[in-house]
Structure 1
Amino acid sequence: MKILISLTGATGLIYGVRLMEVLNKTEHHVSLIMSRWAKETLLIETDVTVDYVHALADQVYDNDDLAAAVSSGSYGIDATIIAPCSMKTLAAIANGYSEKLIVRTADVALKERRPLVLMPRETPLSLIHLRNMTTVTEAGGILLPPMPAFYHRPETIDDIVNQSIGKVLDFLKIPHNLFERWRSDQ
Structure 2
Amino acid sequence: MTKILVAVTGASAMLYVQSFLEMLDRENNVTVHGICSEAGEKVLELEHKKGSRNLPAVTKWFDCKDFTAAPASGSSGYDSMVVIPCSMGTLAAISTGITSNLIHRAADVMLKENKKLILVTRETPLNRTHLKNMLTVHDAGATICPPHPSFYLKPGSLEEAAMTFAWRLGDQLGLKMKGRKRWENDE
Instruction: Report the TM-score when normalising by structure 1.
Output: 0.94
Classify the secondary structure of the residue corresponding to 2:32: strand
8 A contact 1:6–1:83 mirrored in 2: yes
TM-superposed deviation, 1:57:
1.3
TM-superposed deviation, 1:178:
5.2
What is the distance in 2 between the residues matched to 1:125 and 1:165?
23
8 A contact 2:23–2:167 mirrored in 1: no
Match of 2:149 in 1: 148
TM-superposed deviation, 1:180:
2.7
Match of 2:18 in 1: 17
Classify the secondary structure of the residue corresponding to 2:15: helix
Instruction: List gaps (5 residues or longer) in structure 2.
Output: none
Match of 1:7 in 2: 8
Higher relative contact order (CA 8 A, sep 6+): 2
Count of residues paired in the alignment: 185
1:58 aligns with 2:59: yes
- Listed as ranges, the matches of 1:1-186 within 5 Å are 1-26=2-27, 27-53=29-55, 56-177=57-178, 179-185=180-186
8 A contact 1:9–1:86 mirrored in 2: yes
Shift >6 Å, 4+ stretches: none
CA RMSD of aligned residues (A): 1.4
What amino acid sits opposite 2:175 in the alignment? I
CA displacement 1:47-96 (0-9 Å, x = unmatched): 3333312x631111000001111110011110000000000000000000
What is the distance in 1 between the residues matched to 2:146 and 2:71?
24
TM-superposed deviation, 1:21:
2.2
Identical positions, percent: 37
8 A contact 2:32–2:59 mirrored in 1: yes
8 A contact 2:15–2:159 mirrored in 1: no
8 A contact 1:159–1:179 mirrored in 2: no
Instruction: List gaps (5 residues or longer) in structure 1.
Output: none
**Gap change, CA 1:141 and 1:94, over 3 Å in 2:** same
8 A contact 2:7–2:36 mirrored in 1: yes
